[in-house]
Structure 1
Amino acid sequence: MNKYCQIYNGKSHWIFESETVPEFASNIIIKNITSLGIQPKEGWDYDLAIDKFTAPVIVPTVSDDPSQSPLQLTILEALQKQILELQNKLLESEGVI
């Protein structure tokens, strides 16, 4: 049994196991991911040009809520920056980016 990933619009859309590769429309790619060291998850990006999956970068947003004080916004912005840096370091260490 092999593990496959259905790729649609540059995203990992559906991961499934099958003995055969099902037929889909020409704009949908089916990729055998059985032997990949890092298994992609649904929602990951796929770059056809380099044949590589990458985890999506989740960027927390700072709210425009007027009830937040300037200090709260400053803290949230600093945390957002740290989260992005840590997420990138983790993805680099795992060879994803």
Structure 2
Amino acid sequence: MKRYAQIIGERVHWIFEADELPPYPNPEDFLDITGREGIEEGYLYNAKSGVFTAPVAPEPTPIKPQPTLEEMQAQTLLNTEYLVSKSELLGGN
């Protein structure tokens, strides 16, 4: 039994085993990987060098922590006090 990989856009899309490659419309999209261990779906394939590499996951974007309810209430109080003080200084009623 042989092991085949379907390569689409330089990426291993599908791996399967068969005695021979079935008559697919694009046989050039398939590669015999019999005896080559460690290749998985999602791996990248360089056709020029014939090398498979594991994809590199991007670093997650850090998420800024949301303020707590107490922090939001404190900020609202400060903003209110600022506006009241400003209004009093400018002669507002």
TM-score under structure 2 length normalisation: 0.60
Larger Rg over CA atoms: 2
Deviating beyond 4 angstroms after TM superposition, the runs of 4 or more aligned structure 1 residues are: none
* Structure 2 unpaired stretches of 5+: 68-93
| TM-superposed deviation, 1:27 | 8.2
> Given the superposition, is the C-alpha separation of residues 21 and 63 from structure 1 closer, same or farther in structure 2, using an over 3 Å criterion?
same
Q: Does 1:65 align with 2:64?
A: yes
How do 1:1-97 residues align onto structure 2 when only pairs under 5 Å count?
1-26=1-26, 29-36=29-36, 38-65=37-64, 67=66
Partner letter of residue 62 of structure 1? T
* 1:27-61, Cα deviation, whole Å (9 max, x unpaired): 8521111111x331000001101111100011222
Task: Structure 1: state its 5+ residue gaps.
Answer: 69-97
How many residues align structurally?
A: 67
